[in-house]
Chain A
Amino acid sequence: MIKVENLSKKFGEVSAVDDVSFDVAAGEVFAFLGPNGAGKTTTIKMLTTLLKPTSGSIEIDGLDPATHSNEVRKRFGIVFQDSSLDQDLTAEENMDLHGVLYHVPRKVRHERTEMLLRLFELWDRRKDFVKTFSGGMRRRLEIARGFLHTPKILFLDEPTLGLDPQSRNQLWTHVKNLNKTEGVTVFLTTHYMDEAERVADRIAVIDHGQIIAQGTPDELKKQTETDSLEAAFLALTGSSIRDESADSADQMRQMAKMWRK
């Protein structure tokens, strides 16, 4: 379903993704496990038509995202790592807009919106503007929205970042369910070992833009001669702490707030 060969992306001198190859079979749950700045988001952006690779090839359901972007977009759904909501619309309006963009028929749209907003405990706040929501609520809305339509492939970029345990649970239950009943292929990224182990059929450990190990959780443990995935992960990536440099987008958001007053 996803086939990636020798994929690289350079931002100037920085190799964000460096000669990465992997395959994800239809119906599989595949996890990209790696520390901050490893290149997970950049890979997802290239898979989802948002960014053009520097070199290498990608096939999504047999199609190249760079040349058949619109066909490719019809095949996947995605939950982004950072916000992609319209803060000046209400929760319900965000859901509705998404449903229209993804061609979900009106009736189904309304039913599923209610079901999902209830599931993620946002139904009572559906008429409120997203800008009045807490970080956790926004995250929940983002995820609820991602489940509004059922794609062939679901991309989840660090979906549990900032989620409370209950919502995490809802999320993974839902993902597993979709995977089982509808055969949705799932590509997720995370830096939590336990999550990867819990949901993924196969895991690729990525660091500094390169895949350093690939296999089922058990294979990874065997390979590193460790008894937990956490130990395996540390054995593979070392224990130095990675910092995501505070990016300019954050500063912009601050400024934008001032401007809008």
Chain B
Amino acid sequence: MNAIYILWLRELKRYTRSRAMIVASLGQPLLYLLVLGFGLGPVFQKAGNGDYIQFIAPGIIGMSVLFTSVFSGIGLLWDRQFGFLKETLVAPVPRVAVMVGKTLGGATVATIQGLLVLAICLIAGFRPVNWLMLPVALFFMILTAFVFAGLGVAIGSKLQDIQGMQLIMNFVVLPIYFLSGALFPLNGLPSVLSVLTKIDPLSYGIDALRYVLLGTSQFAPEISVAVLGVAALIFVGLGSYSFSKIQL
């Protein structure tokens, strides 16, 4: 139990100490929000879809949660390269505890990041339909963060080098992002695309955020909760498994 706590705390310390990284990681969502929000806004409106800033804000929050949580897991690559991984792997605590500490830490950091981006969105002019629903939005951010922190650990346990990391970025993380409906509405897509978006867990995370913040959604919120819950279990399970198999 203490082991989980201390490893969780480590993730948090590493996050709060990398101020430059935090600023940099907030710059990207801000850029998306401004460039896409104001750039594509008029087109989006003409197509009869309403205010684009309102639409993409939940998508950008989802994006930050995705990136931050996956990258906390992929951080295992640094732990491996800088040697710290050995320290945790020979410690007399079950590997599952080490993994859980790491995942909890990653999910916490990703949730904080999501909240920061939400704040930025609010400053940029985003307005939720019902302020009282913000705690529910937090709940969905946490759930989404767990899904992808688990996935991150599952991937991070296997990664051996930076090339691998770039592959993962291009062929896993970005597709998850672009197929999630973060940037475009999920209705009326060509069928192949539509299927892909439906197996992407992030679609449900972002859709649920839209439900909560905008009052409109593609899926029923119960479905989103169920899908995210199951995905979290699967990925955290997968993460524990591949973490327990690490050899150095």
Residues of A within 8 A of B (CB): 45, 48-52, 70, 73-74, 76, 78, 80, 82-89, 93, 96-98, 100-103, 248-249, 252-253, 255-256, 259
Contact = CB atoms under 8 A, between A and B. Distances in A.
Contact of B10 (A89, A253, A255): A89
Interface in B87-140: 87-94
Interface in B182-237: none
Given A88-B14, A253-B81, A45 B3 contact: no
A52 B90 CA distance: 14
B97 to A, nearest CB: 9
Contacts of A70: 92-94
B3 A87 contact: no
A175 B51 CA distance: 70
Given A101-B93, A103-B92, A86 B84 contact: yes
Interface string B5-17: 1110010011001
A255 B59 CA distance: 32
A248 B163 CA distance: 12
A253 B248 contact: no
A63 B36 CA distance: 60
Contact of B247 (A52, A73, A82, A84): A52
A84 B83 contact: yes
14 contacts: A48-B90, A49-B90, A78-B90, A80-B86, A84-B86, A85-B83, A85-B84, A86-B82, A89-B13, A97-B10, A100-B3, A100-B5, A101-B93, A256-B78
A249 B81 contact: yes
A80 B161 CA distance: 21
Nearest to B162: A255
Contacts of B10: 86, 89, 97
Contacts of A52: 247
B88 to A, nearest CB: 7
A252 B81 contact: yes
A107 to B, nearest CB: 14
B170 interface: no
A100 B90 contact: no
Given A101-B92, A103-B92, A256 B81 contact: yes
Interface in B1-46: 2-3, 5-7, 10, 13-14, 17-18
B90 A50 contact: yes
Nearest to A261: B20
B92 A102 contact: yes
Chain B CB within 10 A, most for which of A51, A86, A98, A248: A86
A49 to B, nearest CB: 7
Contacts of A96: 6
A45 B248 CA distance: 8
A80 B82 CA distance: 12
A18 B91 CA distance: 27
Nearest to A90: B13
Given A100-B2, A101-B3, A84 B84 contact: yes
Contacts of A74: 92
A253 B94 CA distance: 28
Nearest to A71: B92
Contacts of B84: 84-87
A186 B78 CA distance: 30
Nearest to A151: B92
Contacts of B5: 100
A87 B247 CA distance: 22
B75 to A, nearest CB: 11
3 closest A-B pairs by CB: A101-B91, A74-B92, A100-B6
Nearest to A70: B94
A255 B165 CA distance: 13
Contacts of B88: 101
Interface in B40-97: 78, 81-94
A132 B248 CA distance: 26
A128 to B, nearest CB: 13
Contacts of A82: 83
